[in-house]
Structure 1
Amino acid sequence: MRYSANHKMETREKLLVSSAMSAKKSGFSTVGVDGLMKAIGLSGGAFYSHFSSKDELFKVIIERELAHSLDRLSGDGVMDSTKLQRCLKQYLSMSHVEQPEAGCALPVLGAEIARSDLEVREAAQAWICRLHESWAQILGSGSLAWAILSQCVGALVVARMLATPEVQREVLKSSHDEISRRIAERPFD
């Protein structure tokens, strides 16, 4: 049976969404091609009509996830201190800690990106640098933008490593307070 081009695009989209959620929840390397395809109700052999390799799928997932992060964290580029604080509060939240599959890919997939081939790392770098440029423009400082991006990602990683919600909240609140203090020191246009 031959499927339409539209069916193939829908299947590819299902695979991307399902694989991204799985990767952010359990790691990308933990599930094989057969498991990724089984999650959307197809056999492993069908995978190769959508991607040439699992590495290619990972690269596309990283590009999509970081594009979503860029949209969420910089929006239309119009940022003021209120919008920035709201963004930070959402990022450094317990719901983000507890639901990695619904949030930013960097805290959960950063180590896997670092171990990936050059193509994946270059794709990740391109999107992270775009996010950095956006924040540097908003904050008026490239250095502060890198520091805030790094602290946000690191705070999520540390909070997720901890066993008790009380200590997790303390990590998030401390990071939010320090970032807010630094931002308050910077004049907005």
Structure 2
Amino acid sequence: MFKGHCGGHGFGRRFARGGDEFGDRHHGGRHMGGGMGGGGRRGRRFFDHGDLRLVVLGLIAEKPRHGYEVIKAIEEALGGQYSPSPGVVYPTLTLLEELGQVEIQLCESSRKLYAVTEAGRAFLATNKGAVDALFARMAETRAIHGDGPPPQIIRAMENLKTALRLKLAAGKPSDEAIRQAAAAIDAAALAIENL
């Protein structure tokens, strides 16, 4: 599925960037509702079917980008309200490449740099209304929600949630382990209150 992608894209590095078991970061259930396919933490997809393809292609048409730059650009465009996982972005990039809408340019670091092709520009022109509407809704979301919590805080909270989830999934922890985990979380909360 991820054939041909250079290493170092962060697959499996849940602690480094935060994320649930599917790689998505949902910030405290603050998914947007309505126009973007909204829903809650376990609700519908953030983008409706086909929307992510248009957004990714539109961003690459602005300037050539690496896959991780596409992820960050979407997150920034939405004011931190949503960050697509590598597990949806990289297959979308592969699809766009297979459709001839983007091409890969190797850069010095040997990571793939995606650039739009004439076929990609033609597809965007054909779908200009949908693309413009998507980017307008993304800008509206950012305007409504602002930039959200600092990314360092989001990452740290996701690390905590992932550590707890993995520990609990490994089997029932001992009473002492539960006590220690609760004490560590309480101590962190107290330290934050005292900042």
Under a length normalisation based on structure 1, what TM-score does the superposition of the two structures give? Answer: 0.28
**Structure whose residues are more often strand by fraction:** 2
Under a length normalisation based on structure 2, what TM-score does the superposition of the two structures give? Answer: 0.27
Q: Which has the higher contact order (CA 8 A, sep 6+)?
A: 2
